[in-house]
Structure 1
Amino acid sequence: MAKTIGSTQKEKKTIAISAYLLNQSNDMIESGEFSSLSDLITTAMNEFFVHKRMGLCGEMHSVMKAYLQTEEGRELIRSICEADPKAEPVVIAESVEKKTFK
């Protein structure tokens, strides 16, 4: 039977993973970061599905976080929040640094 929301019941499955992933998992369990392999996999899968569902929203979060690190970025966000939604858009690309997000 599959796990239902609010239930502690879980379904058992057999999986195959690489030795590298198993070693990394065991290191995290031994360090106390996770209580078991099941705990680690459940957490990883939950985060994966949240990330997949967030899609563009997740990318937008990274961009907003980068903007909030500078006064210029904070001012830009402030101006967007206060802007008239019917006003013509203003080009701001020249003042934004190119950043790489992981």
Structure 2
Amino acid sequence: MVLRKLRQEAEIALRHLEVLQAVLDNQPIGIFKLAELMDMPKHKIRYSLRVLEQSGIIEPTQYGAIVRDDADRVFDNLKREIKEIKEYVDRMDEIIQKL
């Protein structure tokens, strides 16, 4: 399928954002508690936390992950990127509707 990889990447990105929201709502929080809260395997939580940390959004503490104080800058970039992605998807939808 032409869009399979895009769909897979979107699912992973959505998971990262859901983990981010859970951290924001429950910080500080560890992997085990997040996995239980989200009903998700620990390895997926661990991967999402690593991606969010490498992106400069969260940081680990001895009590669990927390959202960085300066994460607002990254949130603004994410909002801009999502807007751009939506524009691409809208254009793809316009094209596919004509087929």
Question: Does TM-score exceed 0.5, indicating one fold?
Answer: no
TM-score (structure 2 length as normaliser): 0.28
TM-score (structure 1 length as normaliser): 0.27
- The structure having more radius of gyration, on CA atoms, is 1
* Larger helix proportion of the pair: 2
Greater RCO (CA < 8 Å, at least 6 residues apart): 2
